[in-house]
């Protein structure tokens, strides 16, 4: 079986709290299954607990590299999971926002799901792009100059977005395809 991402290194964000577990684990697994090297980035290294349905404690995962120690040049692609609290934590972290901005400026592909587009808004990379997200993020996307659509998965200029965990099969397929094309 071919591994389309065998020469690809992907950064996956993990917020200090509140990342939706399946929005972290399923894309990470899909990328690894496609041959990518995946590195988990967060505010600081160590164990972080994710959540289910935004409120229930879930699994614990290891942050391998702190945002402040990571360089966008070391990665070919980026994934920003959702979770209301997790995405909110990420959008107020200057290093996380700066990394998203660097990826956009360099034209590197990104996969962003659910509330994750808040980080795109904060990085000021939404203007002129079509995105989808969790419905409550629609106004933020529009106010940032983007077009919001209610679709399972949207790819626009290297940024793949999806609405919620129900969209994960399509999202995972789309990020693997998008990251392989770069």
- Is 172 considered catalytic here? no
Residues 6 or more apart whose CB falls under 8 angstroms from that of 148 comprise: 130, 131, 132, 133, 137, 138, 141, 142
Element (H, E) at 41: strand 37-42
Length of the chain in terms of residues written? 182
Nearest to 80 by CA among 18, 127, 130, 138: 18
22, 114, 123, 176: the active-site residue? 114
Q: Which two tokens stand for residue 17?
A: 């709290």
Contact between 87 and 116 under an 8 Å Cβ cutoff? The reply is yes
Residues marked as catalytic = 114
């Amino acid at each position: 079986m071919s591994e389309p991402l065998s020469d690809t290194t992907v950064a996956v964000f993990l917020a200090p709290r509140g990342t939706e577990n399946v929005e972290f684990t399923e894309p990470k697994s899909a990328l690894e299954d496609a041959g990518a090297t995946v590195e988990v980035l967060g505010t600081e290294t160590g164990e972080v607990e994710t959540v289910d349905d935004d409120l229930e404690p879930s699994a614990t995962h290891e942050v391998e590299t702190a945002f402040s120690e990571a360089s966008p040049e070391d990665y070919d692609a980026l994934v920003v999971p959702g979770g209301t609290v997790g995405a909110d934590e990420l959008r107020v972290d200057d290093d996380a926002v700066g990394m998203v901005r660097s990826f956009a400026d360099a034209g590197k592909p990104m996969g962003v799901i659910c509330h994750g587009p808040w980080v795109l808004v904060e990085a000021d990379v939404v203007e002129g792009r079509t995105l989808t997200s969790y419905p409550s993020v629609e106004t933020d996307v529009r106010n940032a100059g983007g077009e919001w659509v209610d679709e399972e998965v949207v790819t626009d200029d290297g940024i793949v977005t999806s609405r919620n965990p129900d969209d994960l099969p399509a999202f995972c397929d789309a990020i693997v395809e998008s990251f392989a094309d770069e």
